[in-house]
Amino acid sequence: MNIEIIKNHIGDVLEKTDFVGFGEKKVGKVRDIYTMPDKIMLVSTDRHSSFDRIIALVPFKGEVLNQISAYWFEQTKDIIQNHVLSIPDPNILVAKKCQPLPIEAIVRGFISGVTSTSLWTHYKDGQRDFGNFVLPDGMKKNQKLPEPVFTPTTKHEEHDRPITPSEMVAEGLVTQEIADKVEKTAKALFARGQEIALSRGLILVDTKYEFGLDDNGELILIDEIHTPDSSRYWKADTYEDRIAKGEEPEYFDKEFLRMWFKDNCDPYKDEVLPIAPPEMIAELSRRYIEIYEKITGKKFVHDFDTPIMERINNNLKNI
């Protein structure tokens, strides 16, 4: 999609919803979640979250993320069952109810990141032993790891806390059996993601998975998968050259927006954040659309003739 078109629709965003008749509503960072007796409705809004807060509204973001997840759920359903029941609207996924695990399963293929929980942040501060793996001295930012590593964090706490697999079990968050299954499954999903991404000219750098238990106590993949919100992507064809020159890889995700906020404020402590430049928001929207088209091989299509809420309300009649 032409960036000028995006600029012309910079204010056409889905910030929040307030549907009636779809159960109890809970507002997440970027989704509005409606819980019904037998299913859950996840509405992907255009809210953009980093540093544990909303930092911007990005046109078309919700549609892109929801449809990228739909693609990856389909591509990985042979590895593990997922929670998808239907996708009645570009912004909506209807899912099975399950019991979410209180951890986030993070897999990293490279040593990177700028947030307080990133592997690079801990490494440059001197940490080498991460509980379930040890990294050698002398690694550089954005370097490929010898093999992907599993670095889970807690969930539902004020700030996500890094935790080792053994600590997950010791703290009673999951059983040893579930901990082992989560790690094995997360690494298998990551391997599939890296393989498909590389075939499309992308490097899947790291990602976050969320799991739950179904009615039979079986592990199930929930939330989202391999989206630019839960994953970091780089362009594959320029990676080695840029690393050799000491440059940052070409990002496809929201890292450049994170960096802008890090340069212009303290996003963890400042009560009020500066407003990101509109051209930066438009560029982020364009990147979301581009990565959707690269990953899925499909052209991104948006209904410009119908207001977003009108379209959603029409499609909700089919649920």
Q: Domains of the chain (ranges plus CATH)? A: 3-97+294-316 (3.30.200.20), 100-244 (3.30.470.20)
CA distance 96 to 119: 33
**What single DSSP character describes residue 149?**
E
CA distance 142 to 109: 10
Beta carbons of 206 and 111 less than 8 angstroms apart: no
CA distance 93 to 43: 7
- The residues, ordered by sequence, that sit 6+ positions from 146 with a Cβ below 8 Å of its Cβ are none
What's the predicted TM-score (pTM) here?
A: 0.90
Count Cβ atoms within 10 A of the Cβ of residue 57 and give its class: 0-12 exposed, 13-18 middle, 19 or more buried.
Answer: buried
DSSP E strands: which ranges in the chain? 24-27, 31-35, 39-44, 47-50, 53-57, 84-89, 92-96, 99-100, 103-111, 143-150, 153-154, 202-213, 219-222, 231-235
Q: How far is CA 266 from CA 9, 51, 270, 274, in A?
A: 29, 10, 5, 10
CA distance 28 to 26: 6
CA distance 260 to 77: 37
CA distance 26 to 5: 32
Residues 127, 132, 136, 139, CA torsion sign:
negative
CB atoms within 10 A of CB 122: 18
Cβ contacts of 195-199, under 8 Å, gap ≥ 24:
196/75, 196/295, 197/226, 197/233, 197/295, 198/236
pLDDT along the chain (319 residues), means of 10: 89 95 95 96 95 91 97 98 98 97 97 84 94 95 96 83 94 97 98 97 96 97 94 94 94 79 92 92 93 95 95 91
Beta carbons of 209 and 186 less than 8 angstroms apart: yes
The pLDDT value given to residue 253: 60
CA distance 292 to 38: 31
CA distance 306 to 172: 49
Tens digit of each residue's pLDDT (9 = 90 or more) over 56-103:
999 999 999 999 999 999 999 999 999 999 999 999 999 999 999 999
Answer left, alpha or beta for residue 74, where phi above 0 means left and psi between -120 and 50 means alpha: alpha
The pLDDT value given to residue 259: 87
CA distance 27 to 264: 28
